[in-house]
A and B are shown apart, each in its own frame.
Chain A
Amino acid sequence: MTSKLTYWGTIGVAAASVVAANPAYAAGTTAGASITNTATVDYQVGGVSQGQQSASNSFTVDRKINLLVEEVGTVTTNVVPGQTNAVTTFQLTNSSNEVLDFALAATQITGGTAAHGGTDSFNVNNVRIYRDNTSSGTVGSWDAGDTLVTFIDELAVDTPIRLFVVADIPTGLANNAVAGVQLRATAREGGTAGSQGAAITETTGANTAAKDTVFADTAGVNDGSRDASHSAADDYTVQTATLAVTKTSRVISDPFNNTTNPKLIPGAVVEYCIAVANSGSAAATTVLINDPVPGQLTFVGSSILLNGTVTSGTCNADGATGGSYVAPNVSGTIATVAAGDTRTLVFRATVN
């Protein structure tokens, strides 16, 4: 095993040195380059060396337009309703043999299956495309230092760059709602820094001896093969809390039966349990519960228990003392109701 590792290590070093020696060929011979092959013959006649003969031919390397747009990562981007600057990440590679510009287009799908299996059910707002700034900020992740772009200028061959499709999520969305987005890049003529180059056309009809253009790209999610474009898809999935509130009550005691089979007569103590169940995929935080006490009841001071639990649908009437009462309202804040969890606010009142 050691020798194998050494072998691969040395191959790697050799390959690196070859690249360093011929940088122009790292991504394929540059379009327009001429390749000349020359053969020579040396021979003797009657033991005497004769003049060397040679023969050559040459041809021009044509322009191969190829590009790749890929989603980075294999999971959806989880978002919450109302979130701004929700990010999906893509990568663009110029696999052509020439430096080119690339026009960019971020689009949304309407219905249908999104990139990670969900069904598209809403559209995001304010869709923008950013190019990762690899010299400052958080390299590889979207941050304020990244550049808002509509095209990529003079992209070197075989040097992947990271692109972010950034959008705002509408409010009022249901848990697990999905929005599919797609990013398409289209090769444009390079050569003029600072502005987007003209559209590229494939050489059709008769071949020429000069530099021709051949489209060699594969089909993407919203473009065909050999059209100088490529595209990939990603999606946003809403992860939010879905809260349901139930209120139950039970009689704790009355002045005559005390706690044995108490009845709802004046002076009886009633315990109310307000349960907040979260059936969504995200925790709900700072859940404020407010409950006006009916006029026929009198709130029992300091009887509020917060953040209690429920077992098999039955209120456990547990929790920590807290909350407040400002007539006629009982109120309290539960810090967190985790996804799938139920938390309670419990208080007592007497019947007038």
Chain B
Amino acid sequence: MKIKAFFIALATLAPTQAIASNQVALDNSVFVERVTTDASGKERVLLEEPKIVVPGDRLVFVLNYRNAGQQPADKFVITNPMPSAVRFAGAGDTAQLVSVDGGKAWGTLDTLTIMQPDGTRRPAQPSDVTHIRWAFQKPIPAGGTGKLMFRGVVK
């Protein structure tokens, strides 16, 4: 089920040498997290391809990136809108930013609030997350790779 990344070059009329020679590869895959208990009562977590997926299943999204170009890639930002049928369930210790308003405002989850119908604001919950973003402080060197992941639950 792992779908190899496909690339969309939005700037087709490459005006500079830099674009022509630079290519960032991104790979996006998803797994279903299954917890099984063996005979000795020990829990084992297995990541399976998402063939059988039903509401309530826990998903692990994995993003692999690679700077396939000849020069460092700067201001490297990966943005991932949450699929509407998936509820965000954390992204581990990767220093991610999230948005709870469709990508307008960004921050760590504990700094964001949600406007309620009565005009007051409440702290944002993981289920409010609409987008996740990783903004790298340092350039990705030529040939540099990395992996990012986040969890979700099928609504």
Chain A residues within 8 Å of B, Cβ to Cβ? 7, 10-11, 13-14, 17-18, 22, 25, 27-29, 33, 35-64, 97, 203, 207-209, 212, 214, 216
* A residues in contact with B73, CB < 8 Å: 43-45, 50
Cα-based distance from A63 to B57 in the complex (angstroms): 12
Of B37-45, B81-89, B104-112, which binds chain A? Answer: B81-89
* A residues in contact with B12, CB < 8 Å: 51
Is the pair A63, B54 in contact by a Cβ cutoff of 8 Å? yes
Choose one: B3, B24, B53, B74; the contact of A53 (CB below 8 Å).
Answer: B24
Cα-based distance from A39 to B2 in the complex (angstroms): 14
Choose one: B26, B30, B86, B114; the contact of A41 (CB below 8 Å).
Answer: B26
Is the pair B55, A59 in contact by a Cβ cutoff of 8 Å? no
Cα-based distance from A10 to B118 in the complex (angstroms): 8
Chain B residues within 8 Å of A, Cβ to Cβ? 1-3, 5-12, 14, 16, 18-19, 22, 24-30, 50-56, 61, 63, 65, 69, 71-81, 83-86, 114, 116-118, 120, 122, 127, 140, 154-155
Is the pair B30, A57 in contact by a Cβ cutoff of 8 Å? yes
Cα-based distance from A57 to B27 in the complex (angstroms): 9
Choose one: A52, A59, A61; the contact of B8 (CB below 8 Å).
Answer: A52
A37 to chain B, nearest CB (A): 5
Cα-based distance from A240 to B144 in the complex (angstroms): 85
Is the pair B77, A59 in contact by a Cβ cutoff of 8 Å? no
Is the pair B74, A44 in contact by a Cβ cutoff of 8 Å? yes
Known: A10-B116, A25-B84, A97-B54. 9 other contacts (CB 8 A): A17-B117, A39-B63, A40-B26, A42-B77, A45-B73, A53-B7, A55-B6, A59-B30, A207-B51
* B residues in contact with A53, CB < 8 Å: 7-9, 24-26
* A residues in contact with B19, CB < 8 Å: 45, 48, 50-51
Choose one: A14, A55, A209; the contact of B27 (CB below 8 Å).
Answer: A55
B96 to chain A, nearest CB (A): 12
| Contact status of A14 and B114, CB under 8 A, knowing A25-B85, A56-B6 | yes
A294 to chain B, nearest CB (A): 81
Is the pair A46, B53 in contact by a Cβ cutoff of 8 Å? no
B32 to chain A, nearest CB (A): 9
Is the pair B83, A37 in contact by a Cβ cutoff of 8 Å? yes
| Contact status of A42 and B79, CB under 8 A, knowing A47-B74, A53-B24, A59-B1 | yes
Is the pair A97, B55 in contact by a Cβ cutoff of 8 Å? yes
| Contact status of A28 and B8, CB under 8 A, knowing A36-B83, A41-B26 | no
Cα-based distance from A46 to B18 in the complex (angstroms): 7
